[in-house]
Amino acid sequence: MQNKRILVTGAAGFIGSNICFALQEKGYDVLGLDNFSVGEKGNLKGFDGKIIDADIRNFDWASEKVNAIIHEAAITDTTVKDREMMLEVNTEAFKRLVEHCLQHNIHLVYASSAAVYGRGKVPMKEEQEKDILSHYAESKYEMDKFSQGKFAEFENKKLKLVGLRYFNVYGPREASKMKTGMASMAWQLYRQMKQGQRPRVFKHGEQTRDQVYVKDVVQATLKALEAKENGVYNVGSGKETSFNRIIEELNKQLGTRLEPEYIENPYAHYQPATLADISNTQKFLGYEPGYDIAKGIADYVQFLRRNNL
């Protein structure tokens, strides 16, 4: 098996923890690193690998010998106003990690974000003009640009360097993100409806997002370790889902008939729609989404029920 020993950063977070479990199931030797600023130990309950409590800004990467690193750690609160901190954690720490991987022959897959497209036209293609609306989006785009300058060097050493622009991810182990209010709409609407409240969405719930189930995100991330070509790829479902549709699927799964309550949208520049063009991801990673919104919500609600959430 290639890439036997893999380090996952952001391991105690939403996506990182799901990646840790998937790798563990496949028999990899997995190490998880997190500073627990947002992620929680509870997300790693049942994970047998080593857990490193450390900060990506000053961790000595050479202290652990690994074949590959999956880099998920980041400030994920997209509303953070401290630009310097955002760039230091998300971009600068990443640049040092890239150099380390190149020097020590380590494959690197990292989380970028669909935030780089802002209110751009849909379907969103990797090469289209970017619309940077936050420091978060800037920090991710800077990661992508830095990587683009390094693809050839990685290629020369037969190493992978792959960035993944995740769209709106939902699924198991995201509750810890409520600390920053960044959990998915699926989770927030589920919580309201579970308590018998009408689900609240901005008028009139017809805004669409590419909602991608975390199991598909994990699939794409693991496939990136075997990418045919280094690059930056979209990771979405390839489908648009309105907020009303999420509510419809939740009603089905919960056996309720709760009508949405439409509230005023205070944001002048709210994205009307996001949608991933996933043709490159299909071609170069062999990625195929397995969960449309109906299947994803059904699987998610089953998980939440099993865990009394």
Ligand X SMILES: NC(=O)c1ccc[n+]([C@@H]2O[C@H](COP(=O)([O-])OP(=O)(O)OC[C@H]3O[C@@H](n4cnc5c(N)ncnc54)[C@H](O)[C@@H]3O)[C@@H](O)[C@H]2O)c1
List active site positions.
Answer: 136, 177
Residue numbers 77-96 binding ligand X by CB under 6 A: 89
Stretch that binds ligand X, among 71-79, 95-103, 187-195, 243-251 (CB under 6 A): 71-79
What angle, rounded to 10 degrees, do the helices at 135-148 and 93-103 form?
20
> Contact with ligand X (CB under 6 A): which of 32, 34, 117, 233?
34
Give the Cα separation of 131 and 133 in Å (integer): 6
The two three-digit tokens of residue 6, written as one number:
């893999």
Residue 123, preceding peptide bond in cis (omega within 30° of 0): yes
Judged by CB under 6 A, the residue of 12, 122, 124, 246 near ligand X is: 12
Compare residues 37 and 256 and give the one whose CB is closer to ligand X.
Answer: 37
Residue 168 sits in the site that holds ligand X (CB under 6 A): yes
Q: How far apart are CA 220 and CA 289, in angstroms?
A: 9
What would the two tokens of residue 130 be?
Answer: 């970017």
Residue 180 falls in which region: left (phi positive, over 0), alpha (psi -120 to 50) or beta? alpha
Residue 264 phi/psi, 5-degree rounding, is -65, 140
**Among residues 135, 150, 177, 223, the one that binds ligand X under rule CB under 6 A:** 177
DSSP code per residue over 187-211: HHHHHHHHTTPPPEEETTS--EE-E
In the complex with ligand X, which residue's Cβ is closer, 72 or 240?
72
What's the Cα-to-Cα distance from 273 to each of 35, 129, 211, 232, 268, rounded to whole Å?
33, 16, 11, 21, 14
Q: Which stretch binds ligand X (CB under 6 A): 161-169, 186-194, 287-295, 300-308?
A: 161-169
73 makes contact with ligand X (CB under 6 A): yes
**15 binds ligand X per the rule CB under 6 A:** yes
Q: How far is the CB of 276 from ligand X (least distance, A)?
A: 11
Task: Tell which one of 32, 39, 205, 231 touches ligand X (CB under 6 A).
Answer: 39
Q: Could you say which residues in the range 92-151 bind ligand X, by CB under 6 A?
A: 111, 113-114
Binding map of ligand X across residues 48-67, x = CB under 6 A, - = no contact: -------xxx----------
b/e code 35-53 from CB counts within 10 Å (16+ = b): bbbbbbeebbeebebebbe
The residues binding ligand X (CB under 6 A) are: 10, 12-16, 34-39, 55-57, 72-76, 89, 111, 113-114, 166, 168-169, 176-177
